Amino acid sequence: MFQASSRGTGDDQRPSAPDAGAPLAGARLLVGDRDAATAAATAEALRTRGAAHVRTAASPREFRAAEHADRVWDLAVCDSAFAGAELTAFLEDWHAHHPAAPVIVTEDRPSADRAVAALRGRAADLVPRHDPDALARSAAHALAHPPYAPQAATAAAPAPEPVRMLVVGAHPDDVEIAAGGTIHRRADDGWDITVLTLSPGGGGGDPAERRREAHRAAESMGARLVLEDLPDGSIRDDSSTVRVIERTVAETAPDLVLVHSDHDTHQDHRAVHRSTRVACRQVPRVFCYQSPSATVDYRPNRFVALREQDVEAKLASIRAHGSQAATRWYLEEDLLRSTARYWGRYSRCRYAEPLEVLRDAAPVHTH
């Protein structure tokens, strides 16, 4: 059953065509161990059991570089002392980037502290560090039972109604900047998402061009766009604006609404916030996102964890607003990425977008 192979070192090539019957046939594995020789020996043992591609890393830094260089991983193996006291955070970071790929922790001798850290980091298993047979068995089991894949029981159940989310913004690109990653992530989760932009943004460029860009941007995030025609710079906080918003609320019947915060220096943003509060008085959940013009009084208390692909999609949606990107300081990609990275500290993930809860009257399971 096990194939013979020559001993490889470092980042490796597959030794020969994998045996389709081997326990790890075709799998792509990333092995982190504080000792390079142990990592290489572990990798070799996994290769002989059919793994198609095994890459090794002898430090968390090497691990991250390898992790993001290849991106498509079926499973990771991580020595319990590899990330030191940061083991749980290290494992969580792995899950954030590879939600369908389990991670197995290896250890020299049982330790309650490390077991707790591995458990908190949702490790699939804890196995002895120098026992390739136990590791291969555990890896084969974990690959057959991925942590987040739909199980048979849920596959048989009727598909739940998608959550309906409405994201309201004053101008083209407001929503992308503030919640583009959240929209992409939830669209990926199957949510039904509408973006309502109240002004075509005549004050910031050619309206026809901005209109085309806005549609492209919404589409790239996985949302549909409703673009209204209120005057850029003088959106009013009155019943006429409320009625415009109510129209889309009635059409989309949202479970959840995202909108500008009242803590914002832009008068249009505040007017949209206040009118939306009125128009969405029956919506169970209303949260406020952070615009570049938000003030220090903006105080988020909910954080949407973003994956690398959500951040990439957010940046792509902003690039779709080509006429703005060159002239606006707040559209610089390093600022957008580092802002998401900053908020990640509150979400136990690498990246996040913040929300301020205005109303949350729904059962928690629909979050």
Residue placing its CB nearer to Zn ion in the complex, 31 or 196 = 196
Contact 58, 34 (CB under 8 A): yes
CA distance 132 to 142: 15
Return the axis-axis angle of helices 308-319 and 207-221, rounded to nearest 10°. 160
Q: What is the smallest separation between the CB atom of 330 and Zn ion, expressed in angstroms?
A: 10
CB of 260 to Zn ion, least distance (A): 8
Q: How far is the CB of 187 from Zn ion (least distance, A)?
A: 22
Q: How far apart are CA 334 and CA 347, in angstroms?
A: 20
Give the shortest CB-292-to-Zn ion separation in angstroms.
8
* Distance set, CA 81 to CA 74, 118, 265 (Å): 22, 11, 48
Residue with smaller CB distance to Zn ion, 93 or 174:
174
H/E element holding 235?
Answer: none
Q: How far is the CB of 171 from Zn ion (least distance, A)?
A: 4
Task: Tell which residue, 342, 358, 317, 320, has the closest CA to residue 177.
Answer: 317
User: For residue 228, what are its two tokens?
Assistant: 């209204």
- Would you count residue 176 as binding Zn ion (CB under 5 A)? no
Verify binding: residue 331, Zn ion, rule CB under 5 A: no
Shortest CB 199 distance to Zn ion, Å:
8
Residue closer to Zn ion (CB basis): 171 or 186 = 171
Based on CB atoms, which residue is closest to Zn ion, 127 or 175? 175
Position closest to Zn ion via CB: 171
272 binds Zn ion (CB under 5 A): no
Q: Distance from first CA to last CA of the chain, Å, rounded?
A: 47
Closer of 284 and 292 to Zn ion (Cβ): 292
Interaction of residue 349 with Zn ion, rule CB under 5 A:
no
Helix axes 239-252, 267-279, angle to 10 degrees: 60
Q: CB of 339: closest distance to Zn ion in angstroms?
A: 16
φ, ψ of residue 174 to 5 degrees: the values are: -55, -45
Nearer to Zn ion, 55 or 273 (CB): 273
Residue 210 sits in the site that holds Zn ion (CB under 5 A): no
Report the nearest approach of Zn ion to the CB of residue 232 (Å).
9
Binding pattern for the stretch 128-167 against Zn ion, x by CB under 5 A and - elsewhere: ----------------------------------------
Interface residue with Zn ion among 171, 185, 210, 263 (CB under 5 A) is 171
What is the crossing angle of helices 60-70 and 87-97, to 10°?
Answer: 10
Return d(Cα 137, Cα 256) in angstroms, integer: 44
SS3 321: coil
Question: Closer CB to Zn ion, residue 95 or residue 321?
Answer: 321
Taking the least distance from each CB to Zn ion, the nearer of 94 and 289 is: 289
170 near Zn ion, judged by CB under 5 A: yes
At closest approach, how far in Å is the CB of 219 from Zn ion?
A: 20
Q: Does residue 177 belong to the site contacting Zn ion (CB under 5 A)?
A: no
**Cα–Cα nearest to 127, from 94, 79, 89:** 79
214 binds Zn ion (CB under 5 A): no
Q: Candidates 97-105, 168-176, 299-307, 324-332 — which segment interacts with Zn ion by CB under 5 A?
A: 168-176
Closer to Zn ion by CB, 18 or 200: give it. Answer: 200
Contact 165, 256 (CB under 8 A): yes
Residue 202 in tokens:
């005549």
CA 321/CA 212 separation, integer angstroms: 9
Number of residues forming the site for Zn ion (CB under 5 A): 3
Does 174 sit near Zn ion (CB under 5 A)?
yes
CA dist 262 and 217 (Å) reads 25
Question: For residues 197 and 221, is the Cβ–Cβ distance under 8 A?
Answer: no
In the complex, the residues that contact Zn ion under the rule CB under 5 A are 170-171, 174
